[in-house]
Structure formats: C-alpha cells, structure tokens
Structure 1
C-alpha cells in the first residue's frame, strides 16, 4: 500500500503585527495554518507609533493591502532635530522624499491599534477562522513527523512545524532552547532572563495634535542620556521620552504608575517640539500612556528540529529607526518563500529537509543583520547621548555636512535594495527607473524582472562607514568648532 503523505500544517504562536501579516501571506498559498494568541484582544490598549519603510509597502502591494491600509497611514513631510535642553534647532529636512526617489515609496507611520485592526479586518474569513485567542502556550513537543503545541486551557494543536512569532519573551524560544539543551522548559510562572539587553526605557502615548504644530512632522530632541520625540500625523500625534538606564540590564521590569509619573516630573522641562515641553505634552493626554524597556540584541540560533523563530523572538531593535516590524515581516517573507519551494517537491518534508530550509533562512536574513542593528543602535544614541562622540555627531557633524544624505543613499539604501519580496505574487506598482534599484523581484509566470541587481550588490562597507564618520568629523565641523570638540573630549586639551 502506498504511503499517504501527511498534509503540511504550520502552527504559529503570536498574532501580533507580524503574525497577522503572516496570516495574509499564508492565505495567498495552499499551506494550512493556525495562529495561537495568548491575549483575548488582538488590539493593544496603548496607542503607540509604528513606522513603515519601502520594502514593507512592496509586500502590501503584492498582498493587495495598499488601499485597505492607506486610510490609517500618515506621511512624514519633515524631520526636525532639536536640543531638548534649550529648544534650538540642529537640522530640518525631509528624508522621506529622498527615500521615495531611491525606492519608490516614502516613509509613513501609523497608530498601532488602528493598523492592527485594519490588518485583521482585511483578512479573508477563512484566515480569521484560523486565529485562536486566549491560547497561552506552555509546552511544545516535537517528533519525527510533526509537532504538538499544548495550551494552558487544555487544548492541543498539531502541525508539521511551529513558527514562534511570540515576541521578546517568546515561550516558543524558551521551549526550543530547553529541548535543544536537554532540560525542562522553565515554568510559565517564572520570569527567565532575557537574551536581550536594555539600555533605554521609554514613556510613550498619543495625544491630539497641538494647535501650534504642523501636521506630519517628526520632532526629535536630543540631550545627555535622554531624548524626546513628538511626531504629528494627519489627525493624531505620538510622543515618547527615551531615558538611558543607570546600568544596562537583561532583567524584565514592570513599571508602575508611580514610575511613569516620576519620569514625567523628572523630564518635564525638556523640549519635545518648538514651543512645547514634556510637561505641556502630558497636559494634553488623558493618562493613557505606558512605560517599557527598549531591549536590544539578537539570539544566535533561530531554529531547532521543527521549530523556527522570527521577528522579536530572534532580534530586538531599539525603535528610533523604526525597523522592528519591517525586519520581522522580511523574516516571514524569506521563510515562506523557502517553505513553498520545499513543498513543491514534497508535501510532507522530513525534519532534515526542514532544518536545511531553516538554516538557509537564518543565513540569508543574517547578511544584513549587522547593518540593521548598527543603524538602530546609532540612531538611539544620536539623540540620548551616551558618549561625547554621540553628541558631536548630532550637534556638529550631521548639521554641517551631507552625512544624512550620504547615509540614506549609501548605508540605508543598499539594505532596502536587498529586501526580499514574495517570489510567487505579482508586484503591481512600477519599481523600475529607481535611483537605487531593487535586487529581488517576484518570479511570475516563469519570468523575473530584468530590473534586478546582483545578489552581491552593495554600496555598504563597514570600514568605509567608519571612514566617512571620521572624515565628516574633520571636514564638516570646521575650525570654528575645533576648540569646542577638544574641550568635550578632553577638558585639559585647550
């Protein structure tokens, strides 16, 4: 009797931003899936900010989501960098226009709750039915032919693989690492040490747009070990106060209402936009604000056996550069592309074949990891200065050189150009004749776009990046700031 192949089924843990987008992607395939979400409500209580970059819009285009999501998106028409201490302006320019010329799409931001609601409501009913809430995963079992995921309510989900999209404190990651090391997973009541490190924490929320400020402007104010942000959209504004901890930590911290109030009082005098201080901003909000740690880092191993991780379960980026969701979505795109190719040859791949796909996925996604992390970390430190060089970059190098344009074109640009697309879905928007062409295009009806760059294409070179920073420091600051910089670096060198 012929062996009947077992249907392939993915069990996804986590129905956040990336999980919901994964549901859209998988609904465009013939792959069966289920998504388990711990919380009862998919929409977060707090109104935080989410940034969307050009590669993400390419995926939305392929998924026919552009028109459905556009009503909740806000363009950024200008970016202003200021002193948080005295309100003086360092720089004012529009990187979005340059990015749009380079990549076909500009920068947009959105209100996280509204965006999640739009993502969910635009799912087909068949995909919505696959999302199960109040499913708190506590155990993952693997065997030669599949996985079994157990939830605290007694329910069990079986599948071929598990994808952990369950965030910074991923339970799937904890179970995976425990099995790989031959030990029991920590109890769900425990608080295991995070693989990430927290250098900054943030107080955040949303408010009506202050009447004195224009719409669609991102204000970022810098100071020593603290920075502020006030970004105005079409009809709403988002604020944040970023504060460096006394000492970096990997401990999980839950902040109280008292902690939030103390932070507001501590930094109430700082500017957050022209004519606006932190205390003014908090006078406009209704008390619905949060305080969280901003973890940074990544884990070394992204998979084991029939378990694979993505997004915040494998990396955490500080949010100043707004790359978190965009990077997590790219993980899923690459992973699903590779799984689809494997399933074209067998509908029931063995563990060895799956691990080979997972290893290939990790290797491909890790190529740009150092650059993405560097961009996120540098942007955070450019505003809440941890060193004299951070201050020099923000106050003297960037305003008096074309470093912003250089980094947009030569550092960020190549990362965008190499971003993946879903290789089986048509891209409707025209991505030809761009200043920085994309390296990857979908293969539809056996044809690939001729507008593709080599996979090895890159403008970026780490040593060149360091070199340009040094060159900019020497040429851009000029003699008028030479004495000031020497004094900051070494007070005795005067």
Structure 2
C-alpha cells in the first residue's frame, strides 16, 4: 500500500475490550476495522461479568449502558466457608452505589458484547469474523496484517485486544527477536501463567436462593463466587493449580467431572451445595477454562503495534476487574491517539516515532495501576483461598473480628482508588455522581 492520508486502526479481537476500543475510536472520528478470529461475535452465553462503577460510567459515556439487556443489581456480600459457616455479611454494593451514583452491575458477557456490537456505528462492515491474525509486516507508513484465510488488511497501526493468548503479543515478541531485542521479555510461554482452573455457569430462575446477594464460599485451594438476581444467577468455581505456561482446552466431560468432584462444597446458607447448583446449570453454556495471571513488560513495538486488555494484563475473575482494567487501558490509549491526531497539521499521518511516543505515554500512565491490580489479585486469592498460613489467618480470623469494620475500611481504601477511573476526554456527557467525587472530570454538555 502506498502512503495514505487516512489514519486507520486495525483492532485484533472483538471481545468486550476490542469493541469498546472501537467505540472510543469511533467517537474520535478515527477510521478502524475489527478482526475477530471466531465465526461469530456474540457468544459466551454462560459467563457472567461484573461491571464496576468506573466501567459503567464509561459505558454510559459512549451510549452503550442502556442497551445491555439483563442487568442484575446486588446489595450485600456474604462470606462463608464450604462447610456452611457464615463468616460475614455486609452491604458492599450499596456502599458503591452511594459513593458513585452507579451500581456494580452483574450481567452476562454475551449481553455486554451484544450491546457493544449492535451499537457500534457501521458494525456490519467494520467487524470482520473468521479473520484470524497470522502475521504482521511493518511498513514505513503502517502495517499489513496477514490473516489465516489468506487475506491481508492494511492500516496505520494494529491494536491487539486478542486476549490472554494474544497472537499480537506473540508477533511483537518475534519482531523484537528479529530486530535483536530481548528474547526474554514477554515470552508467551512465561508472561501469562495459568494458576487456576474454573467453571463458569448460569442458572435461570434460581428458586429458593435469596436474590441481591453475592456469595463467596471458600476453603483451602477452592473459591466459589455466586451472584444471584431475581431470575438468574451466575457463578464461577475456582480451583488452585500449580503455575504453568500454555493452555488446556477442556471437554464437556472434563467439565462435568470437575463439577461432580466438588459437588459437596456448600456455597450458601441452609445447606445449599455446588451439586445443587450444578444440577440446575444450563450445561450448554457452562465451560471449564484455565485462569491466568500476568502482566506484559512491553506493550508496544515500533510505533505500529500496541496491546490492550488481557493481552497486556490478566487477572482472575475473582477480582471482577478484568474487563474494567482493559477498558481503562482502551480509554487511556484512545485519549492519547485522539490528542496526537488532533494536533496533526497538514496532510499525512503521525510518524512512527510520534506514535511510539504516544504508546509509551499510554504504558507509563497505565503500568503502575496494572501491576498494582495484578499484585492485589494475587494477594486476595492467597487470602480467600488460604494459599498460605498468613492468608488463612487474615481471612478466617483477623478480618472477621467484631471490631473490624469492613464498611469503613472499604470506604477509606477502596473507594478513593475507584474514584480515579479514567474517561474519554473528548466525549462530553452528563454522568452520575455520589458522595465520592470522581477525580477525572469530562467536558460537560453545556460547555460546548
């Protein structure tokens, strides 16, 4: 392709982060195409997903929030042991709503993807399915992406939103090796370690289980989380395993064996066991997958390739922060690109060096929070799954003492961190607020 005056972004991956990235670019007036390796975009019906208030604010800003079909609002968190002993109950979700005006929303991954996809301008032309990235050529004026089906796509940059097993990250590693860079940095075999295996599932019409609760049941090496609404519940059951590279694809039979081996675990009061839940689970949507933890050290290469989402940071579902972290990175990168392009004078495109500088600013801005999120995820799982004697002592006894006020701790420690959520600097909107002030403001509609 010859030199072009049109800046075009290629996004690899049409998951929640990739589609949100596309929305952010669309709002900035930036041309884009999304490449999805699967044959369909809307899938993963069984996996639940938590939308934290900062993420809900972003979805509100880009006009997607109201299009998410099924939204479950929880009120209380209950911690218990798998023998049925209740450790604690407190109004976590009400505290969040009071602080920010937005509630934590529990919904399905499918509903989130569907809302992002159907509201994306030009989605039928701009989102290409069955388009698996196989190779990338860097040019002076952009990139050529080769697909497994033999087609090629030309653009100015490639944004890898293609998940924990990111082909984009693998290609970046290969390009660094070819250029004589460090082969040890972000080797795909080591950067994302699988440390847990877990079942995602859904139960419709969960009669007999109190709605509005987030149940978290644990014992050494196991953790079960369950969000219960009036007509649906989602859950994930995690089992710790020795850290290892690579990936495993589990069969439906292995998923069933995994579930039945843990059927005795009590996951809610009054003797409710995982076996009771598994018997009512929609088996067509339940899935057993590995869960990884890791953070890439290098998020960009040559001013032409950059990573966003699980390709650069992976935390477990326990934190409920995976999509949120990816969305924050997407917003940060979109802000950098919009700022760079708005300052571009005359015809032509930003140089590779200017783009590389923008990518570097993006990484510098997001790396501290990303590493802190990973460290927090590791520490929380060590505590809630009793991975060490210290973790067991903290979870089972120290934080359960009657003089420990979890609500006060949450307000003074967690709420200020949540208040620092980023937003798109170039999209005015009237958002919600609560008792905690958002640290990052957006232009107000009346200011235009």
Question: Do the two structures share a fold, i.e. TM-score over 0.5?
Answer: yes
1:95 alignment counterpart: 92
> Hey, what's the Cα distance between the residues in 2 that align with 1:110 and 1:345?
39
> Hey, what's the Cα distance between the residues in 2 that align with 1:236 and 1:155?
42
Q: 1:214 deviation in Å?
A: 1.6
Encode CA deviations 1:90-130: one digit per residue, 9 max, x unaligned: 01111111112222222111011122112222223x24320
Is residue 157 from structure 1 mapped to residue 153 from structure 2 by the alignment? yes
Q: Please show how residues 222-233 of structure 1 align to structure 2 within 5 Å.
A: 222-233=218-229
> Hey, what's the Cα distance between the residues in 1 that align with 2:442 and 2:44?
37
- Which runs of 5 or more structure 2 residues have no equivalent in the other structure? 181-186
Is residue 18 from structure 1 mapped to residue 17 from structure 2 by the alignment? yes
Does the CA-based 8 Å contact 1:424-1:444 persist in structure 2?
Answer: no
Tell me the secondary structure at the aligned position of residue 80 of structure 2: strand
Segments of 4+ moved more than 4 angstroms: 444-448
Q: 1:444 deviation in Å?
A: 5.4
Tell me the secondary structure at the aligned position of residue 386 of structure 1: coil
Encode CA deviations 1:61-115: one digit per residue, 9 max, x unaligned: 211223222x32111111111111x201001111111112222222111011122
Q: Please show how residues 277-356 of structure 1 align to structure 2 within 5 Å.
A: 277-288=273-284, 289-305=286-302, 306-346=304-344, 348-356=349-357
Structure with the larger RCO, 1 or 2 (CA within 8 Å, 6+ apart): 2
Encode CA deviations 1:430-473: one digit per residue, 9 max, x unaligned: 43xx433222112458969xxxxxxxxxxxxxxxxxxxxxxxxx
Is residue 381 from structure 1 mapped to residue 395 from structure 2 by the alignment? no
> Hey, what's the Cα distance between the residues in 1 that align with 2:444 and 2:138?
36
1:458 alignment counterpart: none
Is residue 108 from structure 1 mapped to residue 105 from structure 2 by the alignment? yes
Does the CA-based 8 Å contact 1:221-1:271 persist in structure 2?
Answer: yes
| Stretch of structure 1 that moved more, 332-341 or 16-25 | 16-25
Encode CA deviations 1:325-348: one digit per residue, 9 max, x unaligned: 011011110101111111112250
Does the CA-based 8 Å contact 1:61-1:429 persist in structure 2?
Answer: yes
1:208 alignment counterpart: 204
Is residue 173 from structure 1 mapped to residue 175 from structure 2 by the alignment? no
Does the CA-based 8 Å contact 1:419-1:440 persist in structure 2?
Answer: yes
Does the CA-based 8 Å contact 1:46-1:290 persist in structure 2?
Answer: no
Tell me the secondary structure at the aligned position of residue 279 of structure 1: helix
1:442 alignment counterpart: 442
Does the CA-based 8 Å contact 2:430-2:445 persist in structure 1?
Answer: no
Counterpart of 1:251 (choices 238, 241, 246) is: 246
Counterpart of 1:422 (choices 421, 424, 440) is: 424
Does the CA-based 8 Å contact 2:206-2:231 persist in structure 1?
Answer: no
- Number of residue pairs aligned between Structure 1 and Structure 2: 434
- Which runs of 5 or more structure 1 residues have no equivalent in the other structure? 185-190, 449-494
1:455 alignment counterpart: none
Q: 1:148 deviation in Å?
A: 0.4
Encode CA deviations 1:471-491: one digit per residue, 9 max, x unaligned: xxxxxxxxxxxxxxxxxxxxx
Tell me the secondary structure at the aligned position of residue 20 of structure 1: helix
> Hey, what's the Cα distance between the residues in 1 that align with 2:295 and 2:389?
27
Give the TM-score of the pair, scaled to structure 2: 0.91
Tell me the secondary structure at the aligned position of residue 162 of structure 1: strand
Tell me the secondary structure at the aligned position of residue 366 of structure 1: helix
1:78 alignment counterpart: 76
Give the TM-score of the pair, scaled to structure 1: 0.83
> Hey, what's the Cα distance between the residues in 2 that align with 1:374 and 1:411?
16
Tell me the secondary structure at the aligned position of residue 219 of structure 1: strand
Tell me the secondary structure at the aligned position of residue 67 of structure 1: helix
1:407–1:180 Cα change, 3 Å: farther
Does the CA-based 8 Å contact 1:47-1:111 persist in structure 2?
Answer: yes
